[in-house]
Structure 1
Amino acid sequence: MMSFGKFLFKEKQNNYCALGLFIAFFLFYVVINYPYILYMERHSSELIIHSPFYGVPFTLNLFNFDPSIYYGFGNASIIHPFLNFLAGSLTYLSEYLSGHLFFLIIHSVINAGSVVMIYYYLQKTETGHIISLLFASFFGISSYTIFTALIPDSYPYAQFVILLSVVYLLYCRMEDRSPLIPTALLAITNFGITSTNIVPFAGALWINMFQKRGYKFITTLLLIAVYFLIGVAALTCLQTLIGSSWIQNWLQSLHNGGFQYTAPFSFSQHWKAIYMLVISPVLTPDIVLIDPGIVAFATDLLSPYPLYVTVIGAAVLLMAALGFVRNRRTREPWVLAPFLLFAFGLHIVIGYGLAVFKYDLFLYAGHYLFVFFLLSARFIATLKHTLTRKILIGIILVFVLTTATHNIIKHGAALNEIKESYRLLM
């Protein structure tokens, strides 16, 4: 049996390309976000006065992200059960290692790692070298990966662990095995960073292991569940020993981070949710100061979206849908489906986030955005007509260049909007 490491790294050419992608995107995230760091450091005394984030050094309220990594060991909640272990450790290190720049470097490494996971997944599914590079780059220059490299929140970690899980499930599928402890560890990590992520992971795992004949896979699933519960119990006990655990304040944290964010979907009010959940995380929207009281910057819902933004977003959605249809007889799209279905159910059917719709839905995209890129790439790769495939590859190249140009310009414009808004406030 091949180990996961050997499965992932066995082709040298892939490793060289993955390394190139990693270095390029790591540097890209650091360079494009560093002006934000400089601005916060040079104006810290003025910005901290208006910050809603309990006095932590990160003071920009963007897209409703919360700099939760700065909240330390004591911030255990049912939404992020075990994130406090990571947050406390990194916050302690950041005090000695350049603060904002430390987190920018860490998150740039993680997001560049997510780009690499996209590339490896596509290469392992025989998508083709050029298509894999294009879609990994397309994902890498998306607005979401740029902003999450800057903001010290849980989302870069959640996105990377989900992508690692998807690649690991592909390994299990291709090697026809389901190791108990590694799978349980992935389940614990998904749950620990964001508790709701255990739902799509469990759904993907079930589909990945499902067998029409025989029920041995159910026994394996139950054993994985047992190991998962043991791990959760052990970490919860450790939390209790060093402070408070996520269980002790679960009702309060569920109210603060759950119920008060929930409202029924109304098409007349929330029709732009499709942009905020899918298109804006790819192509940066115009931002505006929507709440001077907490200096909250979010998508300017009154600003019209350029036609090319709608075209690129709609094309990605269409290709993803076609990718699902073309590959529906294989297990691959069905394993990816729970991540999209759960997001749709949570944010549209249940309405999580709609109560604070004006503060943005952009931040939730890390839990599912990757699916659109993977399915779109698989759609193009499975086309048998060579000319059609080449034309679509050319179109995707144009999309990548357009998105990169758009996001670089809009990222600078967003900082200018922030500076001007603070200037007027002061």
Structure 2
Amino acid sequence: MDSGNTAWLLASSALVCLMIPGIAFFYGGMVGSRRILNMMMMCFGGASLVAVLWVLYGYSAAFGDSLGGLGLLGDPLEYLGLSSLLAEDPAASIPGALFAAFQLMFACVTTALVAGSAAGRMKFGAWMVFAGLWATLVYFPLAHWVFAFDNADGTVVGGWIANRLGAIDFAGGTAVHLNAGVAALALALVLGRSKGWPHSHGQPHSRPLILLGASLLWIGWYGFNAGSALSAGHSASVVFLNTAVAAAAGLLGWMLMERLRLGRSSSLGAASGLIAALVAITPACGAVSPLGAVAIGAIAGLVCSLAIELKFRLGFDDSLDVVAVHAVGGLLGTLLIGLFATEAAPNGVSGLFYGGGFSLLGIQAVACAAVLVYSFVVTWLIAKVLQLTIGLRIPEESELKGIDLMAHSESAYLNDEDPVELGAPARP
């Protein structure tokens, strides 16, 4: 065991875990004051359920030996319950249990991201069922496609995108962000629009909470990206630098676009540009130079800002712009590797602008198309089946009054005139 690598991955796992409350605060600040508790509970509840499923069979489905050697799904029984990871492997650089914990956080974060498209109008119980089915049928297989690499000795066969196709996705532009964004679109289409949308499209109730959430995500993203190097060395250092400068460029890019289009730059736009750039640099952070990272971050900030208009033009209610930020950002970042990749970066391949031709761009496009189609179709089917069986939408009256009271019998903010909640101590 390498103690330095182990310490770095322990720290990275904690940083990625920090992204879960980061998403909760970011999304919570973007919704109305009568929806914030439900939004945050969707993030925490979905992530917690996925964590349990990860122990039961999720890790096996993602990182077990590929069934039939096809690279489509790992053996869900190979690491059942994760007891086999308790024994120390003297040949490993990091403990197997630690790698499982690190990847667990990815599964939790991805599921929480999808919740943003259903804010304020989906039954909490239906969301929890959806989250479990979605992780099982969509995320775990896609994680196998993208993150599971063949063992050098051939004892374990991994996913087809990582090994057979050879696409570059350093930390999850396809399996995490493109996947979550496309799934959010499918769920939004099945759920339908909020009452009165888009004319009653609510304003964020707390911009400080949005900035707090974005700050936590920015910090956590260093563990997400640099931790994916799985070692405390040169690759993690380059990735860390690329992540930092891309995020800054994305914030500036979104602010510039707002300034040009609207005559002012907003705090919500700055936070959104930051996140969009972090999404875009996630797959590319190990393949590009710092200048390439700045270019990718800036492009993401500019393009994702414009992509917000898609939901109004196409008529789908993606409440918190998961599609514009994560689907578009993840797609951009993955494809731009085909242009900006340089052999000098840790991934060691060259894109079009560095003499590599169009081949890498084509490989990246195939990976994106496969994830996009699979995620959308399976997510739509899951949501449609649940809609026809247990139902997805809360009653219209509850939607208008706010989902927090209906779903959780709680309010985030109490006035002096509000009745004391049953079982709660009276305020002095």
TM-score, normalising length: structure 2: 0.25
TM-score (norm 1): 0.25
